[in-house]
Chain A
Amino acid sequence: MSAAGVAPKPTRSWPRWVAWAVPLVALALLLGVLAFASPLSFFRADLPPVEILSFERIDVTPAGFRATVVNGGPEPVTIAQVIVDDAYWDFTIEPSSTVPRLGRATIDIPYPWVYTEPHAVRVLTSTGLTFDGEVPVAVETPTPGLQQFLAYGLLGVFVGIVPVALGMLWFPALRRLGRKTLNAVLALTIGMLVFLLIDTALEAFEVAAGLPDVLQGQALVLFAALLTWLVLLVVGAIRRPRDDSGTMPRALYVAGLIALGIGLHNLGEGMAIGAAFSLGEAALGSFLVVGFTLHNITEGIGISAPLTPGREGTPAGYSPGLRTFVALALLAGAPAIAGAWIGGFAYSPFVAAIFLGVGLGAIWQVIVEVGRLLRDDAARHAEPWITWANLAGFAAGVAVMYLTALLVKF
């Protein structure tokens, strides 16, 4: 902002910087009073320190356990001892046994853990408070090596790219459908997305609840969702004027958006699967992978449905090429690979909460966009957009997702 154009001030006014500085000086004075005169000391008389530690991650190594703890309390916490399975145990701690507010420490515990059995890790602070972590099933946590990297990548391919690509194979069938049937398929996509929206939201809040309170996990999820949604609104607003004429038809935009939203969802899914495999809790092999493939196959239908010819937003004669489908499949599926890597090797509930929040916002916007496709089509043909056929499609979408989720939830 420049001073030019501002109305002339009275000649004896203070320089502009003074006006900016006054509140800051007042704030500094207030802080000084609070710090040195302690007018609120009444509230602090002899209160014991509040200590809040949480375990972020416990890795199982050949030598024992490596636990990461986070101090979510208002004061530094000093870790005095470590108890494993009700026995005091040797440990080293980095960078310091005193963990500052919002700081973290890594505790290495040489321990003869027992393959596939649960173990309990407890830290005792200097004040005698205890905080508990759990190794539900002791299996060595994979260390990022080439073999592990490829295996987790393959896992991501199976739960992300493969099902989406399989779903897309229905595209030739979809393009032969009548308009109303296709609308029902779009409604099915919406139903599927609503399922993912709710599933992602519940998951996000569950992860957020595991974060230290000070990080305000739930708020973090909502803000991540809100910001993502706003960004997608801006992106949509920038490209919308070129609706029917540009090189990128609206239908492709919507398909891309669906792919993006699903991709963000699959990122979270990949993280969860990667974390579970790395914790040794997914000793279920191909069954789980097959379950996810079935579960996610609908996503391919959802992405390709708006691309069928003859629809509003799809120029006559427009036919998406193989390259388009590959790009969409990668956009929707590849994040599962990244998610599997993150979950397997570097899981952090904080990052997971944010990613899930982002996915939440994206899926919401996708629902809005697909809904608009349906509405616009209905308007063009002067029909109500909520029909029994569309409702049935929607219900089928929810039902398919729910039923296939039975394969992967226990």
Chain B
Amino acid sequence: MEPKEPGDRRITRRDFLKAGLLSGGATAVAATLAPGRTHAGHEHGLPLAAQSTPTPQPGMDHGDDESHGGMGTVGQVDNARNGFDPQTLLRDWDFGTVSTLPNGQTLREYSIVAVNKEIEVAPGVFFPGWVYNGRVPGPTLRCVEGDRIRIEFINGSDHPHTIHFHGIHAASMDGVPGVGPGAIAPGGKTVYEFDAFPFGCHLYHCHATPLKRHIHKGLYGAFLIDPDPARHVGEDEASARARNHLYTESQAVNEMVMVMNAFDTNFDGDNEVYAVNTVAFAYMNEPIRIRRDQRQRLYLINLTEFDPINSMHLHANFFDYYDHGTTLRPTHRTIDTIMQCQAQRGILEFDFKGFEPGKYMFHAHQSEFVELGWMGFFEVTA
């Protein structure tokens, strides 16, 4: 399946590739033969706006097509077949089955199943994924600081898997091979149990080896621990209320989860598709609608494999940033770009108060990632 060497094509006969050195003394013949040189307007290629959008193929509905100068995927991903919609993934919290333990502690019970599943990561491009609960990223587990967390993990796939949580827990609950229950064999199950600490924006992922493959195939998700206002005082208490889903103060904020991920569809150790929440250009083709007067809170997590870092840049605006979400006061104020290594995460808070309504772009500030899918819009409405 090796692609043919691109250079193998046709000029090889006389191999004049490097012959630009010898360009002196061109005759009329040669001048006529290099039409691009005299063709006005080609010195700098075509202006982007002048691009005509080709007629889409039957069955290949073009998404938002007029304004990106031809850049973008062609067609649309079938969310129904994937079983998840990037728009819903933004705010699809899994609070677990909630009960109270005899000691008064809140118990949240979750069930997670790992399966093999083919997912459409760009229109018409199918990736043989390994997924938690049928989706990538896996369910966004949400709880409160100090809750008892109990996760029943069933491995319905054909490879051993685990769930490794970023959080504070016992070694046996760490979800790594060779410790505690270790790697869970296909068909096997285990229970991970611990108290939710520290509050913040966290994540979980499979820690079976080879790690790279188990992560980039799709076994990861967000794990959000809301701060408990009862554990904080003063200004921090108010901030904790605004972060905790159990308090009405938090309802005033529009919360979103974005997991920056990427897919190496040809398994060459280099990603072909970049995205937030899996589907390339999902939020470019269907912008995220937000109200300009509403506070926005974005839980941003980097699970990109193969590339050392990923980043997010917000256009025309600035945000406050809480690294790891483990503080109630911003770790960075008034920035418009944030960089994360793999598994690094944080909370972005911003609003568009007083802004002109319209489409405000956000994307990685690695241009390569942008044009390979990691780009979107907030559609800001009055």
Query: Which A residues fall within an 8 A CB radius of B?
Result: 50-55, 57, 60, 62-64, 78, 80-83, 86-93, 97, 108-116, 120, 124-134, 136, 138-140, 142, 147-148, 151-152, 154-155, 158, 203, 206-207, 209-210, 212, 268-269, 271-273, 275-289, 343, 347, 349, 352, 408-410
- B170 part of interface (Cβ distance < 8 Å): no
B70-78, B105-113, B161-169, B238-246: which lies at the interface:
B70-78
For B36, give its contact among A111, A115, A286 (CB under 8 Å). Answer: A115
Bound: A29/B48 CA distance, A: 60
Mask of B124-136 contacts with A, CB within 8 angstroms, 1/0: 1111000000000
For B124, give its contact among A55, A126, A147, A151 (CB under 8 Å). Answer: A126
Mask of B340-382 contacts with A, CB within 8 angstroms, 1/0: 0000000000000000000000000000100111000000000
Q: Which of B5, B8, B16, B34 has the most CB of A within 10 A?
A: B16
Contact B125 A112 (CB under 8 A): no
For A115, give its contact among B32, B43, B73, B127 (CB under 8 Å). Answer: B43
Contact A352 B10 (CB under 8 A): yes
| Chain B 10-44 interface residues, beta-carbon cutoff 8 Å to A | 10-20, 22-27, 29-37, 39, 42-44
Whether A87 touches B33, Cβ cut-off 8 Å, given contacts A63-B46, A63-B52, A281-B16, is no
For B24, give its contact among A116, A130, A152, A285 (CB under 8 Å). Answer: A285
- B103 part of interface (Cβ distance < 8 Å): no
Contact A284 B13 (CB under 8 A): no
Contact B368 A112 (CB under 8 A): no
Whether A129 touches B1, Cβ cut-off 8 Å, given contacts A139-B34, A151-B33, A408-B14, is yes
Query: Which B residues fall within an 8 A CB radius of A?
Result: 1, 3-20, 22-27, 29-37, 39, 42-48, 51-57, 60, 65, 69-75, 121-127, 263, 265-266, 268, 272, 280-281, 368, 371-373
Q: Please give the distance in Å from B107's CB to the nearest CB on chain A.
A: 41
Bound: A128/B53 CA distance, A: 24
Q: Which of B19, B24, B60 has the most CB of A within 10 A?
A: B19
Whether A86 touches B371, Cβ cut-off 8 Å, given contacts A128-B263, A409-B15, is yes
Q: Please give the distance in Å from B199's CB to the nearest CB on chain A.
A: 38
Whether A285 touches B30, Cβ cut-off 8 Å, given contacts A62-B42, A124-B122, A130-B266, is yes
Q: Please give the distance in Å from A76's CB to the nearest CB on chain B.
A: 14
Q: 5 extra interchain contacts, Cβ-Cβ under 8 A, other than A269-B13, A269-B14?
A: A62-B46, A87-B371, A279-B10, A280-B36, A409-B14
Bound: A132/B5 CA distance, A: 8
Bound: A133/B10 CA distance, A: 13
Q: Please give the distance in Å from B116's CB to the nearest CB on chain A.
A: 12
Contact A275 B11 (CB under 8 A): yes
Count A-B pairs with CB separation below 8 Å: 264
Whether A92 touches B18, Cβ cut-off 8 Å, given contacts A140-B39, A281-B11, is no
Whether A97 touches B57, Cβ cut-off 8 Å, given contacts A86-B368, A140-B39, A284-B16, is yes
Q: Please give the distance in Å from B370's CB to the nearest CB on chain A.
A: 8
Contact B57 A110 (CB under 8 A): no
Contact A136 B37 (CB under 8 A): no
Residues of chain B within 8 A of A151, CB atoms compared: 29, 32-33
The 9 closest A-B pairs by CB, nearest first: A128-B265, A285-B26, A272-B13, A80-B124, A87-B371, A285-B30, A134-B6, A112-B45, A139-B36
For A286, give its contact among B26, B65, B371 (CB under 8 Å). Answer: B26
Q: Please give the distance in Å from B67's CB to the nearest CB on chain A.
A: 12
Contact A283 B263 (CB under 8 A): no
Contact A115 B45 (CB under 8 A): yes
Whether A134 touches B3, Cβ cut-off 8 Å, given contacts A283-B20, A285-B24, is no
The chain B residue sitting closest to A58, CB to CB, is B9
For B47, give its contact among A81, A109, A112 (CB under 8 Å). Answer: A112
Residues of chain B within 8 A of A120, CB atoms compared: 6
Residues of chain A within 8 A of B6, CB atoms compared: 55, 120, 132-134
Residues of chain A within 8 A of B19, CB atoms compared: 281-284, 288, 410
Residues of chain B within 8 A of A82, CB atoms compared: 74
Residues of chain B within 8 A of A53, CB atoms compared: 3
Whether A148 touches B8, Cβ cut-off 8 Å, given contacts A288-B19, A410-B15, is no
Residues of chain A within 8 A of B24, CB atoms compared: 285, 287
Bound: A55/B6 CA distance, A: 8
Bound: A408/B75 CA distance, A: 47
A-B contact pairs, 21 of them (CB 8 A): A63-B51, A80-B122, A81-B122, A86-B371, A90-B51, A110-B70, A115-B42, A116-B36, A128-B121, A152-B33, A158-B29, A272-B12, A275-B11, A280-B36, A283-B23, A283-B26, A285-B31, A286-B27, A288-B19, A349-B10, A410-B16
Contact A90 B72 (CB under 8 A): yes
Residues of chain B within 8 A of A89, CB atoms compared: 70-72
Q: Which of B7, B74, B127 has the most CB of A within 10 A?
A: B74
